[in-house]
Structure 1
Amino acid sequence: MPISGEIHERVARSGGVPSGLPLVILLTGFTDAGSAVSGLIDHLGETTAPEPVLVFDNDALLDYRARRPVLTFDQDHIADLTPARLELSIAHDALGRPFLLLAGYEPDFAWNAFADVVLDFAAEHEVSTVTWVHAIAMPVPHTRPIGVTVSGNRAELTAAHSVWRPRTQVPGTAGHLLEHRFVRAERSVASFV
């Protein structure tokens, strides 16, 4: 269990956490058009063998009334209860290269404390780049190609991949807060929408 007042717990890992790894952030919550983010979380969970190094405390970050845990009711008893998970893990891509993966629900509470933990971890382990993905529904026909908007301070990615460059105000997410804080800390970051 986390120390009183802490929102996360470190998980011991043999070999520790290597320095200089890229960080990929996938948070479900406010928007997830087509279940793109949750589908990517499931895919990476199945294909990259993530090993948790930080586990976030649901009681501190999750509004259970808004996102109730899924349970399996089998005839006359509860056979299974699946709690939500928010973890920062070490994973390995198809070529065996390690990367950090922050995946799970978007916190409902304590966004600044959450961002502090993530940024402190990134600084401690000299994270090389940060990339996060989220999916926003757009009122366009499904026959059109999927468009991508990239934000952040990685100009080469922004210029190469953004097909739509709006100036607009939208409700923010914890991912936006992380991007803003990483840019202010002068870390290399990009968001793919």
Structure 2
Amino acid sequence: MSEDMNEPVTLSSLVAASATPAPMRPAIMVVAFEGWNDAGDAASSALKTIKAATGAVKVAGIGDDDYYDYQFSRPQVRRNAAGKRVIKWPTTRIYRASLPDSPVDLLLVRGVEPTYRWKAFITEILTRAEEENVQGVMALGSLLADVPHTRPIQASISSDDPKVREALGAGQATYEGPTGILGVLAQFSEAAGLPTLSIWSAVPHYVAQPPSPKAELALLHRVEELFPLTLDLHELTEDALAWERGVNALATGDADVAAYVQQLEQAQDETELPEATGEAIAREFERYLKRRHRHGAAGSHEEHEPPEGQDPATGGPETPQSPDTPDTPRTPGTPD
């Protein structure tokens, strides 16, 4: 924990402390892509929630035809407010948001994982990031994993930057194998000297179809911890509980699925027994102090209770070491 109990270390404070003076406020770039790194649409949905909550304004878009195979990432036909049919093309959009209680702004990047020219695509994003005075990068991802839907979902954080790991208690990614666009972005960002952090949530592989509100909720709780940002997650919490009840009903109707879920529960419970440690308790106490400090600054002392069934000390199951494991093939949609 930080030495100043009233001002715990966050990614925002860490970036602000090392930012060089510039005409534009420093920003942290938060990125999510539909496709391989977005099981259950949890990561892209989380970024959409952040965008809506912060009132982020579009500042740029990344060219479409240079990067997408439209037979794979198919355009979508929609009707606009006037009832006219329009085509929405897969693309990547960049938004900027100001956080009143933060020393840094947010630059939100939400799009569809490109098909072609990944190096050029990432270079274009980082060029725009430099123009927006980005001083740090946070990537959001979700993956399919052997976890039970009945247990809290944990969003794990990792970084290859030793200073980030030490300051925020992040782990070091150990995965080796095929990677998605987030893995490429992380490497290019680190090479550019930007502190980079990844957050991954696990989606039960037997309920891979989107949406996955429980995994999205886990990501957003982590985001709240790492920024002076308080999101209204009451509706999403209700969605997560309803989702779990729905999956429960499906599982109880199939003896094989029910037995498999029970097996996953037992394996996870046995793995997590040692988690009630002093370190876990200290981590939750720091999380409490962050919430209290933010509400105190806003003149409100209301505390947000963790969702029903969530262990506030651990946050849920440990995310597997393969954050770039592909989800089931699907046709990516078009970001807002």
TM-score range, shorter chain: 0.7 to 0.9
Aligned counterpart for 1:40 among listed residues 24, 31, 46: 46
Task: Work out whether 1:189 is the aligned partner of 2:196.
Answer: yes
CA distance in 1, matches of 2:107, 2:27: 6
Residue 44 of structure 2 contacts residue 110 of structure 2 at CA under 8 Å; is this kept in 1?
no
Structure 1 pair 130–144 and aligned structure 2 pair: CA distance change class (3 A): same
TM superposition score normalised by structure 1: 0.75
Which stretch shifts more, 170-179 or 90-99? Answer: 90-99
Structure 1 pair 71–175 and aligned structure 2 pair: CA distance change class (3 A): same
Counterpart residue type for residue 196 of structure 2:
V
Which stretch shifts more, 104-113 or 40-49? Answer: 40-49
Shift of 1:93: 4.3
Residue 71 of structure 1 contacts residue 78 of structure 1 at CA under 8 Å; is this kept in 2?
no
Pick the structure with greater CA Rg: 2
Structure 1 pair 172–157 and aligned structure 2 pair: CA distance change class (3 A): farther
Shift of 1:19: 4.1
CA distance in 1, matches of 2:92, 2:192: 23
Q: Map Cα deviations across residues 44-101 of structure 1 (whole Å, 9 max, x no partner).
A: 342233322221111111111112122148xxx9723222231122123475863111
Shift of 1:179: 0.6
Aligned counterpart for 1:100 among listed residues 95, 99, 107: 107
Residue 26 of structure 1 contacts residue 41 of structure 1 at CA under 8 Å; is this kept in 2?
yes
Structure 1 pair 26–157 and aligned structure 2 pair: CA distance change class (3 A): farther
Aligned counterpart for 2:158 among listed residues 146, 150, 153: 150
Identity, % of aligned pairs? Answer: 24
Find the residue that maps to 2:134 and give its secondary structure.
coil
- Relative to its length, the structure with more strand (as a share) is 1
Structure 1 pair 95–80 and aligned structure 2 pair: CA distance change class (3 A): farther
Structure 1 pair 132–168 and aligned structure 2 pair: CA distance change class (3 A): closer
Counterpart residue type for residue 146 of structure 1:
I
Counterpart residue type for residue 37 of structure 2:
T
5 Å matches for 1:1-193? Answer: 18-72=24-78, 79-93=85-99, 98-147=105-154, 148-153=156-161, 154-156=164-166, 160-162=169-171, 167-193=174-200
Residue 41 of structure 1 contacts residue 104 of structure 1 at CA under 8 Å; is this kept in 2?
no
Structure 1 pair 157–174 and aligned structure 2 pair: CA distance change class (3 A): farther
Shift of 1:185: 2.0
TM superposition score normalised by structure 2: 0.45
Which stretch shifts more, 165-174 or 111-120? Answer: 165-174
Q: Map Cα deviations across residues 109-148 of structure 1 (whole Å, 9 max, x no partner).
A: 1111112122223334432211111111111211233231
CA RMSD, 1 decimal: 2.7
- Structure 2 gap ranges (5+): 1-22, 201-336
Q: Which runs of 4+ in 1 moved over 4 A?
A: 93-97
CA distance in 1, matches of 2:106, 2:157: 23
Residue 28 of structure 2 contacts residue 107 of structure 2 at CA under 8 Å; is this kept in 1?
yes
Count of matched residue pairs: 171
CA distance in 2, matches of 1:80, 1:27: 23
